[in-house]
Amino acid sequence: MNRLPDGFLVAIEGLDGAGKTTLAQALVERLEKEGFLVLLTRQPGGTSFGEKIRRLLHDAEKRPVPLAEYLLFAADRAEHMETTVLPALREGKIVISDRMSDSSLAYQGYGSGVDKDFIGLVNAKALQGRKADLTIYVRLAPEAVQTRIGARGKEKTSFEREHGLFFARVAEGFDMLYREPRSNLCVLDAMLAPTVLAEQAYAALDALLHKQLHESRDR
């Protein structure tokens, strides 16, 4: 087993319908084959309390006011971090989170107008200062969101029923957040085939994991 002393936290971000969940599952399979201990989880959700918040938000006939909505995501995040993510990282696991704090900046900050500095402060508190070791942004054009969601044939969530302008603002938010290249950011084109997306994401992850494994051996 490959155990990382401080664990490794991966956040997968992007618009609804970008293919994050399929990508997360493919990464888990590959990492397990390579002998890593992995936890696949998500925000909102990932804890029994969080799954209730997820249902509350998804099933709402009408979305609550933006600040109330954000605070619910923040409550989910705080519970998720304390009870699920940090313990798994302490066990040396690779934690793959299907969405994390940047979703709040993009959806509630850029999309719905909640103060982004406030979101940044509360997010940092909820995450107890821990940041993602790698963020994978699966970039989808906002115009493609409704087609992708429609193709699933499932009942739409309160977010998925949003209009194109909202998704355009969220997309702009993600693009702003990820405009500067950095070593712990991997931007992928959602239009690529799922297998190619998984290959590219794994290559980025593999490089960082090996760097961390080497550093921990040298300590």
Query: Residue numbers of the site for ligand TMP (CB under 6 A)?
Result: 16, 42-44, 73, 98-99, 103-104, 107-108, 159
Smallest distance, ligand TMP to C-beta of residue 34, A: 26
Going across the sheet that includes 185-189, the strands are: 38-42, 94-98, 8-14, 134-139, 185-189
Q: Where are the alpha helices (DSSP H) in 86-193?
A: 86-90, 101-104, 116-126, 145-152, 164-177
Check if the beta carbon of residue 67 is closer than 8 Å to that of residue 79.
no
| Structure tokens that stand for 118 in this block | 């406030």
Q: In the complex with ligand TMP, which residue's Cβ is closer, 112 or 209?
A: 112
Name which of 84 and 103 has its Cβ closer to ligand TMP: 103
- Closest to ligand TMP by CB, 76 vs 133, is 76
- Phi, psi torsion values for 52, nearest 5 degrees: -70, -40
Shortest reach from residue 158's CB to ligand TMP, in Å: 8
Q: Which is nearer to ligand TMP, 159 or 202 (CB)?
A: 159
Cβ nearer to ligand TMP, comparing 54 with 93: 54
Q: How far is the CB of 210 from ligand TMP (least distance, A)?
A: 29
Give me the DSSP letters along 168-209: HHHHHHHHHHT-S--TTEEEEETTS-HHHHHHHHHHHHHHHH
CA separation for the pair 129, 135 (Å, rounded): 16
